[in-house]
Chains A and B, each alone.
Chain A
Amino acid sequence: MADRQSEETGGAASRPFPPAIFTKIFRPVFTVVLTFRGLTAITFIIGRVMPADPVLAIVGDRASRDVYEATYIQLGLDKPLLEQYRIYLTNVLSGEFGKSIMTTRDVLDDLIRFFPATLELATVATLAGIFIGVPMGVLAAVNQGRWIDHLVRVIGLFGYSVPIFWLGMVTLLIFYGWLGWLPGPGRLDVFYDGIVEPDTGIILLDAAMQGEWEIFRNALHHLVMPASILATFALAYIARMTRSFMLDQLNQEYVLTARVKGLSPLAVIWRHAFRNVLVQLITIIGLTYASLLEGSVLTETIFAWPGIGQYITTSLFNADMNAVIGGTVVVGICFVGINLISDGLYRLADPRAR
């Protein structure tokens, strides 16, 4: 009897607690919930607590007394802070960011209209960064200490160091102003505006789906410069991380094993080392994508790109606090979402993390 009992407890103890399935599914969800809480708490503080007069920040100083009073009550500023936060949280969860005084529409509607432009820009820039940056990083690592390594390093450091709003201006000056090779600011030439139906809001997709190839070409031309500018940072970051991961992997013993087997250098690098690098790169690419979504703020300003970054900055100057906070929350949610996805992909790609 005593024996069986100890056996039972032994069996129970050997089973991990909490069960693996729990940690795998609920841990990330828990993290997301917590991060979201933090995000809303901070935006709440920024939007409602820090400004001397949040009502004024929302309605502006030209508002009448009645509007002011109504907003005061609507914001629940007569209630205690915690209660206010609870209301704010419920509002955010149901997509209620209030009205924008600049556009007089619901902030959420605005965000839905402006978001696709940012998504298009950041996606193209990230893809460019991956397809150029990864081979560059691998090449640098394999030729460590040689001129190509130094070249990649200098390009990387340049991408890290250049103020992209300035780089945007200079490229506009050169390729649009002086050479005239590429179109100027905006997503389309004026006379193409409004021809394609914004089904997805991503002009390239919409134009392709509706067979408007001329517009597709024009949109692509408009995209080249801002996407390249935005990609500068992505490329630098990805190339640098790829180089450092690759160097790390090349020093691993399994690389020696692969060479002992008689594999060619190409097979050793791409089939063995790179597979391990790729696993680590997933997280980096996720981070890059997220940071480009927000990094587009300055690029969008330079290239008059009607995205969420431009929306936030213009709202900022119009003291349109609802819009600013709404935009910040949406970008924050994208961040959390992308992190969650890249974490999931990482688990799929690395057998040790499954």
Chain B
Amino acid sequence: MNTTASLLEVENLWVRFRTATGTVDAVRGVSFSLGRERLGLVGESGSGKSQTGRAILGLTAGNGRISADHIRFDGLDLARAGDREMRKIRGARISMIMQDPRYSLNPVIRVGEQIAEAYRVHTGAGRWEARRRAIEMLDRVRIRDAEKVANLYPHEVSGGMGQRIMIAMMLIPDPDILIADEPTSALDVTVRLQVLAILDDMVRERGMGLIFISHDLNLVASFCDRVLVMYGGQIMETLDASRLHEAEHPYTRGLLGCLPDLRSNADLAVMRRDPAWLAPVGGPRPGSTP
């Protein structure tokens, strides 16, 4: 797999929220690049990993502001793209899978229609063509009896099937990059591996770039090529997944150490956080706000 040519380059990304109690910087000067590889984004809840994913798509919630030196994708700067331009990117070029299919699928629309819609938006295909494609896609994510499932409503399918439907929906326009935000943490342990395997196959087969967001360091290590460890809205360190055990940063070691190990009787370590880890960054550069 060619990982050198970069698909996406993020430089000094900030996401700032205004709340009743003041402003909160969820992402503070994050920079990284993504090739046709599987990149893991790991951290505790609140570390800014999900907000990083959303900011790339320009889908930060209403009270949030994104700013960056640039988010370069295919000659475009997503940090400065207008909404119309972003709509051409979303779904078609960069797509995203959310955590829980119970909430991320529209409850009153049949799943087949929802998948077909994702295809029609960007191709302008007819109703029947889109439906045929949707069923084909359901087949590809190993759903048996795809015709029948296409006619079901989201509440009639299981969590694992829902997430496969979600994958089908997000991959049907054939995007270059997929952001998967905790795609398996709402699923039963038994179907997790199955969904991961499907995701893995699809990504490999299409040579896509994948950003895999998770709090589970070991899962990410086994699934991804490269891992970014985030804390407090910043990247602590970047590691090759195969060399995770060589991690030096105390936070990464802490994340590794807080998992129980059946083979040892040692007490679980309690995460120790140190404010000094956070680099003293000034803030987004003036004028970089779109």
B118 on the interface (CB 8 Å rule)? yes
Partner of A257 from B88, B104, B153, B156 at Cβ < 8 Å: B104
Known: A256-B98, A351-B155, A352-B153. Contact between A261 and B109, CB under 8 A?
A: no
B281 on the interface (CB 8 Å rule)? no
- Residues on B with C-beta less than 8 A from A8 are none
- Residues on B with C-beta less than 8 A from A351 are 107-108, 153, 155-156
A contacts with B, residue count (CB < 8 A):
23
Known: A261-B118, A262-B92, A351-B153. Contact between A254 and B59, CB under 8 A?
A: no
Is there an interface contact between A275 and B121, defined as CB atoms closer than 8 Å? no
Complexed CA–CA distance, A258 and B114 (Å): 9
Is there an interface contact between B121 and A263, defined as CB atoms closer than 8 Å? yes
Complexed CA–CA distance, A279 and B108 (Å): 9
Known: A272-B109, A279-B108, A351-B153. Contact between A257 and B89, CB under 8 A?
A: no
Closest to A258 in B: B106
- Residues on B with C-beta less than 8 A from A260 are 57, 59, 90-91, 95-96, 170
Number of A-B contacts (CB under 8 A): 73
B contacts with A, residue count (CB < 8 A):
31
Is there an interface contact between A252 and B103, defined as CB atoms closer than 8 Å? yes
Closest to A265 in B: B83
B182 on the interface (CB 8 Å rule)? no
B105 on the interface (CB 8 Å rule)? yes
Known: A254-B105, A257-B104. Contact between A264 and B153, CB under 8 A?
A: no
Closest to B84 in A: A264
CB-CB contacts of A318-354 with B at 8 A, as 1s and 0s?
0000000000000000000000000000000111100
B169 on the interface (CB 8 Å rule)? yes
Is there an interface contact between B169 and A253, defined as CB atoms closer than 8 Å? no
Complexed CA–CA distance, A68 and B7 (Å): 96
Is there an interface contact between A257 and B106, defined as CB atoms closer than 8 Å? yes
Q: Which of A256, A257, A276, A350 has the most CB of B within 10 A?
A: A257
Closest to B179 in A: A260
CB-CB contacts of A168-211 with B at 8 A, as 1s and 0s?
00000000000000000000000000000000000000000000
Partner of A261 from B83, B153, B156, B169 at Cβ < 8 Å: B169
Q: Which of B109, B153, B169 has the most CB of A within 10 A?
A: B109
Complexed CA–CA distance, A261 and B103 (Å): 15
Q: Which of A253, A264, A272 has the most CB of B within 10 A?
A: A253
Is there an interface contact between A262 and B88, defined as CB atoms closer than 8 Å? yes
- Residues on A with C-beta less than 8 A from B37 are none
A24 on the interface (CB 8 Å rule)? no
B100 on the interface (CB 8 Å rule)? yes
| CB interface residues, B 54-102, toward A, < 8 Å | 57, 59, 83, 87-92, 95-96, 98, 100
Is there an interface contact between A352 and B121, defined as CB atoms closer than 8 Å? no
Is there an interface contact between A254 and B90, defined as CB atoms closer than 8 Å? no
B122 on the interface (CB 8 Å rule)? yes
- Residues on B with C-beta less than 8 A from A265 are 83
Could you list some 6 contacts between A and B, CB below 8 A? A261-B91, A261-B117, A275-B106, A275-B109, A276-B106, A351-B155
